[in-house]
């Protein structure tokens, strides 16, 4: 995100070890970084996790592109950008080009683009005042602070188009018609007929609705059924162009029922089980992919907003997850994921294939883009709120108005405390799930 962090040294020249390094030192530092990266990739290949590492690197590239959005819009607006860094903590490599210092830091957990004069409290040289962020029109400020989220949304949309047109949707984003992945296999259970068999389903059938409800994706439809073990459902099925409703069937409990050919139940916790396998791939042409990408993007934004709100507002349920591992492992549980959890998800996605990798990256891009719009500092949305407030006050008083950002410090510290709580608790949940 755009940052008001002060430069590391006078004039931004404190690049490595306290003084401007020569070209040879810069080159040596860059070579060391390249060697570390190359050795890491070789070791990852040797232990069979190269695909996972590449997915994690893709996440780092997303961070760089987020900051690049801020950087390019600030430069286009004529603002002064003094620093552009990937990562936090100790500097590993840096180089100064013109008025901007570019570099990499040790902890690849984000990045920042330092635009001078992000707040009215920052002391600047007189020559920098005309190019300070705070002295730009409100619309220019908004284009700069919104650029990061825009990049994430653009990346998500592009990856949706690529997924629909290329490797295909794996059943997460089917939108037109909704959730119509064809059944490939009707599964038997050990010692019993599955609900799908009792409903008379066949290979090639398309489940259009459950209990009269339509869903935006097979993932949502299956989630609806997983949340209803032991309950009756009626399926609306399309078969050879004919649509009919099956007799009511009781969903099996996936924590008890064993699928034919397996030795233990599919789920650890109670979950509804129908007993079908679904064709994992749905593809569209280029035009259809663009259209479906737009619909899927809107649906995913809505679901993401709902899930974020649910995690933040339903604190009692979240605390229950921290106390009870069964609650955290429930198929309907919604919570934030730590870097450890993201790496695990990346590993699983890489094992499944490109579609699942794209699906994961799409979800992360949309989440990060939305989360950055939270209207509180230090999020980008906080700067959006300040720019709009200052514009309204300036219009009201007929003269330029600059907010006293120090008054927002308590709210910013409170938000940081909340973020730290969720970061630590999410790490606890992911480590507990990994170890137990």
Listed as own residue / partner, the contacts of 70-77 with beta carbons closer than 8 Å and 24 or more positions apart are: 70/1, 70/2, 70/113, 70/115, 70/144, 70/145, 70/147, 70/148, 71/113, 72/147, 73/143, 73/144, 73/147, 74/2, 74/113, 74/115, 74/133, 74/144, 77/136, 77/140, 77/143, 77/144
| Residues 258, 299 within the same domain | no
Looking at the structure of the chain, the number of domains it has is: 3
Spell out the per-residue pLDDT of the chain, length 436, in tens. 555 443 333 333 333 434 445 667 767 777 877 888 888 888 888 888 888 888 888 888 898 899 999 999 999 999 999 999 988 888 888 888 889 999 888 887 778 889 998 877 778 888 888 999 988 888 999 999 999 999 999 999 999 999 888 777 665 554 444 446 678 888 888 888 999 999 999 888 888 889 988 886 777 788 899 999 999 999 999 888 789 999 999 999 988 988 888 888 888 889 999 988 876 666 677 887 888 888 889 888 988 898 888 888 888 888 988 988 888 877 778 888 888 888 888 888 888 778 888 888 999 999 999 999 988 888 899 889 888 888 888 787 777 777 777 777 788 888 889 889 998 999 999 899 888 7
Supply the CATH number for residue 263's domain: 2.30.42.10
| Residues 240, 335 within the same domain | no
| Residues 105, 125 within the same domain | yes
| Residues 316, 429 within the same domain | yes
Asked, for residue 155, whether it belongs to a domain, the answer is yes
| Residues 52, 89 within the same domain | yes
Asked, for residue 31, whether it belongs to a domain, the answer is yes
| Residues 334, 427 within the same domain | yes
Asked, for residue 413, whether it belongs to a domain, the answer is yes
Asked, for residue 111, whether it belongs to a domain, the answer is yes
| Residues 299, 273 within the same domain | no
Asked, for residue 359, whether it belongs to a domain, the answer is yes
pLDDT of residue 177: 44
pLDDT of residue 253: 92
pTM for this entry:
0.71
Backbone angles phi, psi at 360, to 5 degrees: -65, -45
| Residues 135, 204 within the same domain | no
Asked, for residue 379, whether it belongs to a domain, the answer is no
pLDDT of residue 1: 54
What are 192's strand-pairing partners? 189
- Domain span at residue 130 reads 2-143
């Amino acid at each position: 995100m755009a940052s008001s962090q002060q430069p590391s040294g006078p004039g931004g020249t404190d690049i490595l070890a306290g003084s401007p390094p020569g070209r040879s030192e810069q080159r040596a530092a860059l070579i060391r970084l390249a060697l570390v990266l190359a050795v890491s990739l070789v070791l990852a290949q040797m232990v069979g996790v190269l695909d996972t590492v590449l997915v994690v690197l893709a996440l780092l590239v997303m961070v760089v592109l987020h900051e690049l959005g801020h950087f390019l819009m600030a430069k286009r607006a004529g603002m002064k950008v003094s620093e552009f860094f990937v990562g936090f903590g100790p500097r590993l490599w840096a180089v100064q080009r013109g008025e901007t210092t570019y570099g990499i830091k040790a902890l690849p957990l984000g990045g920042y683009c330092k635009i001078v004069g992000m707040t009215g409290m920052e002391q600047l040289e007189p020559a920098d005042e005309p190019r300070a962020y705070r002295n730009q029109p409100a619309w220019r400020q908004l284009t700069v602070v919104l650029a990061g989220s825009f990049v994430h949304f653009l990346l998500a949309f592009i990856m949706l188009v690529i997924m629909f047109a290329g490797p295909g949707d794996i059943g997460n984003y089917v939108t037109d018609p909704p959730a119509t992945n064809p059944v490939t296999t009707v599964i038997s259970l050990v010692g019993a007929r599955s609900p799908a068999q009792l409903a008379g389903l066949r290979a090639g059938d398309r489940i259009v609705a459950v209990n009269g409800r339509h869903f935006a994706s097979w993932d949502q439809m299956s989630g609806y059924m997983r949340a209803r073990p032991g309950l009756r459902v009626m399926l609306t099925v399309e078969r050879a162009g004919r649509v009919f409703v099956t007799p009511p069937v009781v969903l099996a409990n996936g924590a008890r029922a064993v699928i034919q050919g397996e030795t233990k139940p599919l789920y650890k916790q109670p979950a509804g089980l129908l007993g079908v396998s679904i064709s994992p791939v749905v593809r569209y042409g280029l035009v259809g992919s663009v259209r479906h990408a737009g619909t899927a993007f809107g649906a995913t934004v809505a679901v993401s907003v709902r899930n974020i709100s649910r995690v933040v507002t339903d604190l009692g349920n979240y605390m229950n997850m921290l106390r009870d591992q069964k609650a955290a492992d429930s198929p309907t549980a919604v919570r934030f994921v730590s870097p450890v959890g993201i790496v695990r998800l990346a590993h699983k996605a890489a094992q499944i294939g490109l579609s699942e990798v794209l699906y994961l990256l799409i979800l992360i891009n949309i989440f990060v883009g939305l989360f950055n719009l939270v209207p509180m500092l230090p999020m980008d949305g906080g700067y959006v709120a300040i720019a709009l407030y200052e514009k309204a006050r300036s219009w009201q008083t007929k003269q330029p108005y600059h907010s006293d950002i120090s008054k927002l410090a308590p709210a910013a510290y409170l938000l940081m405390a909340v973020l730290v709580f969720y970061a630590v608790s999410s790490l606890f949940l992911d480590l507990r799930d990994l170890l137990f």
